[in-house]
Structure 1
Amino acid sequence: MKMALFDRFSTVQADLFVTFVPSEGDFSESTAWIDSRIEGQLSQLRETGVFKGGLAQTLLLPCASQDFAQAVLLVGVGKSGELSDMQARKVIAAVAAQIKGLPYASVAVASASLEFKNRSQADTASLIAQWLNEGFYNFLGFKKDDAEKATKVETLLIEGTDEAALAIGTATANGSAFARQLGNLPGNVCTPSYLASKAQHLAEEYAIDVELLDENKMDELGMHCLLSVGRGSDQPSYLIVMNYRGGEEGDSPHVLLGKGITFDTGGISLKPGAKMDEMKYDMCGAASVFGTMKAICELKPKLNFTAVIAAAENMPSSRATKPGDIVKTMSGQTVEILNTDAEGRLVLCDALSYIERFNPKSVVDIATLTGACVVALGSVNSGMYANNDALAAELKAASLTAADKIWQMPLDEEYQQQLDSNFADIANIGGPEAGSVTAACFLSRFTESYPWAHLDIAGTAWSGGASKGASGRPVALLTRYLLAKA
C-alpha cells in the first residue's frame, strides 16, 4: 500500500475522505471544509441527531458531486477535544473496519481533526498511519475466500507535513503485520526451520547478515539447556542471528532476543488439551523481533542492531527431557528441570550467554514466558524486568511514545532463593509464588556482563476467543526504543 502526506484537503484527490467529528463544538478546519463541499450535510446531521458524533460512531455519506469524492466517512470522537491513546485507537479501529470492506482505492484522512492528549501533530499522524495499516491486516493464505478479505485500498493519504513521522508509522505497521503473520501461522508450517528460512529471506531483501547455528554447532558451544527443549521433537532447533549494520564499523550492537518456541505442548509436563492450539503463539517473542528487524531495515537508522532467535519445538517423546533431569548451560551453570513446561527460560539462558560475544550495549529479551504475568497484568501491560535503571527508563519512554504499554516488575534478590536446588546450581521453576518474577530471576543469572531487560508478553502477544490472533506487540515499542538509540 502506498502512503503519502498532504498539507490540506483542497490540494488532494481521493475516492474516500475520512474526517473526525466532535459531538459538540466547532469543527476543525478540515472537517469544516468537507462540510462545505457536501453542502452542509454534516452540520445538519449533527444538529438533527442523526449523527451525534459519539466515540467511534461512523456514518458513510455517498457524494452526489463525483468531482469531489465518491464518499465521505464521518467518524465521531465524542465530547472530549483530546483523546487518550486508548480512545484514539478505538476510533482508528472503527475507521479501519469500515474502510477495509469498501471498494475505494484511495483514501484521504483528516488527521488534524483528531487530537490526542499530549501528542504533537506529527506523532498523531504517525500513530494514525500505523494503526490504520494494522487495522487493514488480514491473516491470508488458508481460506478459499482470502482474496475477498483483502483491503481494496491502494493509496492512503494522511494529513500532515512530517515525512519522518509517516515513515515511522508505516514501517512499524509493516513490522507489526510481519510479526502477526508469523504468530498466526500454524505449528505445522511455522517450525524452527521455517523461522530460519524467514531470516534468510530478510537477508536477501535487505542485505543484512544472517548466521544459523544448527544443533551440532550449539552442542559444540555447550548450549545443552537450549537443546534439551527440542530433544523430544523431530524438528531441529536453531539459534538464528541477524545483524543490521547501520552504525559505525566495529561499534557494539544493541541486541534483541526472541523466544521462538514454535509449538509448546509442555513436553513431558504436558499442558491441558483445552486451548493448546494457542501454543502456536509461544514464538511471538521471536515474531516481534523479526517484525522489529523489518521495521528497522525499512527506516535505516544509524545504529548497529543484532537480532537473536532461540527456536525450538517442545514435544513429548521417548527422547524428551524429563522432570528431574539436570542439564549444563553454556555458562557452565547446571539446571535441574523440575517442569519441562518452563522451557522458555531454558532456551533463552543459553542464548543470553551466547550474546556476550557481541559485547552488547544493551540486551532486551522478549518472551511469552509465564502465565503468572497474565494473572498479574492481564492483556494491558507487558511485564518489564531490568538489571539496569537507565535501560528500564529508556524502555518506559519508548513505550509511551509508541502507545505500547509496559509495567516494571520487581527483581529483588530475595526472590532468587526460590530457585535453589538440592542437586544443581539452579532449578528452572521457583514454585507458585511470584512465578513471573522468579522466571526473570532465572534469566538474570545469565546477564551479569551487560545491561539487560526482559519483557514478558504472555498477556499481550495474542488474543483468544472470537478475536483470536496475534497482536504484533511489542514491535512498536522495540522500534521506537532502537530509533531513540540511533
Structure 2
Amino acid sequence: PRLIVVEYRGGKEGDAPLALVGKGLCFDSGGISIKPAQGMEWMKFDMCGAAGVLGALEAIGAMKLPVNVVGFVGATTNMPSGTAVKPGDVVRAMNGKYIEIINTDAEGRLVLADVLSYAARYKPAAVIDAATLTGACVIALGHTATGVFGDDALVQEVLEAGKRSGEPGWPLPIWEDYKELIKSDVADVKNSGGRPAGSITAAMFLKEFIGDYPWVHLDIAGTAYSESDLVILPKGPTGTPVGTFLEFVRGRAG
C-alpha cells in the first residue's frame, strides 16, 4: 500500500489548496468476500479515481493554472491471503474511529477514509474525492451519470464543472437517516450497510472521516469505464473524472 501526494503550486504562497482525492485499487478481487470470476478482469480499472487525480494534475500543470492543488492517491490491491482482513474484524482508522468489517469487498471506502483524514493536514479550501465505489451507483444511474454527494453549494459547483466537461453528474442525498444503516454494535461504524441505498451509505461512511472542509464525493463506478461500447466512446476507460476535476479547478482559478 502507498499514499501518493502530488502538489501543484501555481497560486500564491499561503493560499489554501484545492484537494483532489482518488481511490487507487490497482486490482480488486474482493478479498475474502471474493467477487464472482466472471467480469473480475475489469477490476484492474478500480483505480480510475486515482488515475483521474493524476491526469487532472498533469493537465493543470500544463495549463499553468494560477491555483494551488494537492492530489492524494491511496494505492493498493485487495487480495485474499492468510493475513487478509476478515469479515467480523474491527480496525482502527487514522482519525481514531473503529470500523467493523462486514464485507471485505467494501475496501475502497476504507482506503478513502484514511486519505480523507490525512488531507485535512493541508487545510484545503475544498476536497473532491472520486472512486469506483459501488455497484449500487451503476444500478441507480447506469453508465450515463456520476453520483454526486456532499455539501450542497459545492455539489452544485461540481455538477456545473461536470456539465461543462461533458461528464454529467446527478446529486444524491446523504441525509442523517441513512446513518442508521451503517451503525455497528461493536465499533463506531461498519463498512457496509447492505443492499438498500448502497451508494448513499458508502458516502455516509466517508462522511465519518472528512475533516473541517467543504467536501464532495464522486461515485464514478458507472462512468469511469464501460464493458461495452457507448454512444461516443469505445468500451474500456472513459477518462472520467479528469474533465470534472479540471473544470472545477479552472473555475476556482478564475
In the superposition, the TM-score normalised over structure 1's length comes to 0.51
Query: Equivalents in 2 of 1:477, 1:328: separation in Å?
Result: 32
Q: Hey, what does 2:108 align to over in structure 1?
A: 344
SS in 2 for 1:415: helix
Structure 2 partner of 1:470: 237
- The structure that is helix-richer by fraction is 1
Q: How many residues were matched structurally?
A: 249
* SS of corresponding position for 1:255: strand
Quote the offset at 1:250 in angstroms.
1.4
Root mean square deviation of aligned Cα: 0.9
- Counterpart AA for 1:460: T
Deviates more, 1:395-404 or 1:253-262: 395-404
The match for 1:397 is 160
Find the counterpart in structure 1 of residue 27 from structure 2.
Answer: 263
User: 1:429-468 residue pairs with structure 2 within 5 A?
Assistant: 429-465=192-228, 467-468=234-235
Q: 1:483 to 1:472 in 2, by over 3 A?
A: same
* Equivalent residue for 2:189, pick from 420, 426, 431: 426
Taking structure 1 as reference, are residues 448 and 358 closer, same or farther at Cα in structure 2, changes over 3 Å only?
closer
Q: Which amino acid aligns with 1:252?
A: A
Match of 1:333 in 2: 97
CA distance in 2, matches of 1:397, 1:307: 21
What pairs with 1:251-290 in structure 2 (closer than 5 Å)? 251-290=15-54
Q: Secondary structure at the match of 1:313?
A: strand
SS at match of 2:46: helix
**3-state SS of 1:266 partner:** coil
Whether 1:375 and 2:139 are equivalent positions in the alignment is yes
State which of 407, 415, 427 in structure 1 corresponds to 2:178: 415
1:469 is displaced (CA, Å) by 1.1
Residue 254 of structure 1, CA deviation: 0.3
1:78 is matched with which residue?
A: none
1:366 matched to 2:133: no
Q: How does 1:56-135 map to 2 (within 5 A)?
A: none
Q: Give the CA deviation at 1:463.
A: 1.1
Identity of paired residues, percent? 50
Q: Distance in 2 between matches of 1:413 and 1:240?
A: 32
SS at structure 1 position matched to 2:96? coil
Q: In the aligned structure 1, how far is the partner of 2:243 from the partner of 2:102?
A: 35
Q: Distance in 2 between matches of 1:396 and 1:461?
A: 16
2:8 match: secondary structure: strand
For 1:106-127, what per-residue CA distance to the aligned partner results, in whole angstroms no more than 9, with x for missing partners?
Answer: xxxxxxxxxxxxxxxxxxxxxx
**Which one-letter code corresponds to 1:250 in the other structure?**
G
Give the unaligned 5+ runs of structure 2. Answer: none
Give the partner amino acid of 2:59: A
Deviation at 1:448, TM superposition (A): 4.5
Which whole-Å deviations, capped at 9, do the CAs of 1:72-110 have from their partners, x for residues lacking one?
xxxxxxxxxxxxxxxxxxxxxxxxxxxxxxxxxxxxxxx
**Local SS of the residue matching 2:25:** strand
Q: Which protein, 1 or 2, shows the higher relative CO under an 8 Å CA cutoff with sep ≥ 6?
A: 2
- What do residues 384-409 of structure 1 show as CA deviations (whole Å, max 9, x unaligned)? 001x2221121111122112100000
> Counterpart in 1 of 2:60?
296
Q: Secondary structure at the match of 2:47?
A: helix
Deviation at 1:347, TM superposition (A): 0.2
Could you say what secondary structure the match of 1:251 adopts?
Answer: coil
